[in-house]
Each structure stands twice: as structure tokens, then as C-alpha cells.
Amino acid sequence: MTNTLDKFFTFLFYRKGLAIFLLLAPLLIWLGVVYLGSLFTLLIQSFFSIDSFSGVIKREFTLESYYDLFRQSTNWDIILRTTTMAFTVTVVSAIIAFPIAYYMAMYAGPKLKPILYLGVMLPLWSSYLVKVYSWKLIMAKEGILTWILEKLGLLHLLDVILSIPVIGGTSLSFSYIGMFLVFVYIWLPYMILPIQASLERIPKSLLEASSDLGGGPAQTFRKVVLPLAFPGVVAGSIFTFSLTLGDYIIPTIIGNSSYFIGMAVYTHQGTAGNIPLAAAFSMIPIIIMMVYLMIAKRLGAFDAL
């Protein structure tokens, strides 16, 4: 048995092409059939329609679901609301993440650096649901945040913020501000790491050269550091943007029950059983992400990943 196996391996060893093919085949079959196949059925299903009386899916090519999708202004609201949130979360995450990443890459010593790195990795990987839940505790009316603000005498400030139209609400955990806060919290590590990696890769000699040539710190930062770190920011933004676009847990648990794309997709397929409409709806984040990834590629983000 082992002998045959040996012979088989040796046989393969001299046929590199075949060996590579056999090694790759399982993965390609899996991702090709299971994943790409599913994406493809999603695309096909988005061209099916549902019989509104019987609830049976009609397997004929039609643009009905797309028509339904774009006809209703509430759906446009959902798309606009989700992309605005994704965009705002991305910009604010980048602003908060940059100084942290900068400190990690440029100032932290060899002892501190791995600690900081792990300090970003742990929250990134640790349970998403638990993290969302912890904010529910924090932002609850009787919870820790209210308590702190009360002790600081700033409770009226919270009321002022919550009274702002659109983004405010009855309490922090039922408002866009609360949702926004949780999104930034959850995705921030995804932004810090790529920026840090891109800053890490800037050769120190470039900074020295800049200052030798008479560039002040601010000038060096603006003309050397920032352009070289920008692909890292774009790389990070892919995560924050895509993850916000597709999330439906945070808007379900925190927020004022206005719909986001993910929730709409979930409801259409689940409660309504309207898979064609859900499929058409989920084409929107796919298209937005494809455009986004194309722009990101232009900006060199893939080299920074």
C-alpha cells in the first residue's frame, strides 16, 4: 500500500503540472462550486419573481424584483442610509485610527510594539456579538455611561446631543449616534492594522532624506508620510466600509429600528420568503463593493493589504 502511494507521489513529482492541478483541485472545486456557484444562483434568483398570491417563486427571467426594489422610495432611503453610515464610519475610523497606527509604527519601542499589536489584534478577533452586546449594557439608560455623565455633571449634554434631529433619539441605544459609535468601535481595529503596516514599510531613510533636504516635520509628514500611508488607509477602509454595508446585527440590536440593507435582505428572505427580492437587494452591496474595490485598486490599496 505504502509502496503504491510512494510510486504515486514520485509519479506526480515528475509531472509538476498535474501535481499542482491535483493540489489545487479541492480548493477550486469547493470555492468554485460552493461559493461562486452560490453567488451565481443569487444572481439568477434575483431575476426570478414571487407570485404574490401563492408565495411560490416563479422561475422565469424577469426584472420584476429589480422593478419592485427601485420603485419604492423607502428602498432608496435604506440604500442611502446604509451607505451614508458606512461612509461616515469609515472616515471617522480613519481619523481615530491614524494617530494610533502612527504611534505604533513610529514611536513604540521593540518591547511595546508587540504588546500594542496584540492589543489591537485581540479586540479585532474577539467575539463580534459580545462586543455589540457590551455597548447595549454601556448605553442602557440605567447603565454605566449615564452614571459617568451624571457624576461628571454632563447629563444635560447627552440630552442636547440626543435632541439633534435625525441622528438623535429617545436614548443613546435607540439612535443613529449610538449605532455609529458601535460601528466605529467594532471596526476600528480593522482600520488601525493596515495603516500601521503601511507606515511600518516607509523606509526611515526617506524621513531622514526629507529633513536633510530642509523639510520640517510638518512638511515631511504631509509630503512623505501621508502619501505613502494613504494606500493603508484605503485598505482599511475596504473593511470598515464593506462590513458596515453588510451588517444587520448592529442596526437590529442598537438603533431606532429604521432599516439597513442587511436587515432588508434578511427580512425579505426570512419573514416574507421573497428570495428574489432579497437577492436583488443584495446585488446593491455587491455592486457598491465592486466599484469600491476597483477604486481601491487604483489607489494601490491591494499592495497595502
Closest C-alpha to 235, from 132, 62, 90, 96: 90
Work out the angle between the directed axes of helices 275-298 and 64-71 (0-180°, nearest 10).
80
**Nearest residue (CB) to another protein, 6 versus 159:** 6
Site for another protein in 261-290 (CB under 8 A): 261-262, 265-266, 269, 275, 278-279, 282, 285-286, 289
CB neighbours of residue 66 within 10 Å:
18
Q: Is 6 in the site for another protein (CB under 8 A)?
A: yes
Strand, coil or helix: 219: helix
CB of 31 to another protein, least distance (A): 5
Q: Is 10 in the site for another protein (CB under 8 A)?
A: yes
Q: Is 257 in the site for another protein (CB under 8 A)?
A: no
CB of 28 to another protein, least distance (A): 8
Which of 78, 97, 172, 195 binds another protein (CB under 8 A)? It is 97
d(CA 279, CA 58): 14
**Nearest residue (CB) to another protein, 169 versus 275:** 275
Q: Is 12 in the site for another protein (CB under 8 A)?
A: yes
CB of 243 to another protein, least distance (A): 7
Site residue total, another protein (CB under 8 A)? 95
Q: Are 104 and 192 in contact (CB under 8 A)?
A: yes
**Nearest residue (CB) to another protein, 253 versus 299:** 253
168 φ, ψ to 5°? -80, -165
Which residue type sits at 83?
A: T
Which of 247, 259, 274, 304 binds another protein (CB under 8 A)? It is 247
**Nearest residue (CB) to another protein, 81 versus 136:** 136
Q: Is 55 in the site for another protein (CB under 8 A)?
A: no
Site of grid cell 514611536: 107
Instruction: Please report how many Cα atoms fall inside a 13 Å half-sphere around the Cα of residue 45, on the Cβ side.
Output: 21
Q: Are 132 and 247 in contact (CB under 8 A)?
A: no
Site for another protein in 106-165 (CB under 8 A): 106-107, 114, 116, 118-123, 125-131, 133-138, 140, 142-144, 146-147
**Nearest residue (CB) to another protein, 119 versus 300:** 119
**Nearest residue (CB) to another protein, 165 versus 203:** 203
d(CA 85, CA 182): 12
Site for another protein in 182-241 (CB under 8 A): 185, 188-189, 192, 204, 207-208, 211, 217, 238
Q: Identify the bridge partners of residue 50 per DSSP, sorted by sequence position.
A: 57
Work out the angle between the directed axes of helices 73-102 and 275-298 (0-180°, nearest 10).
40
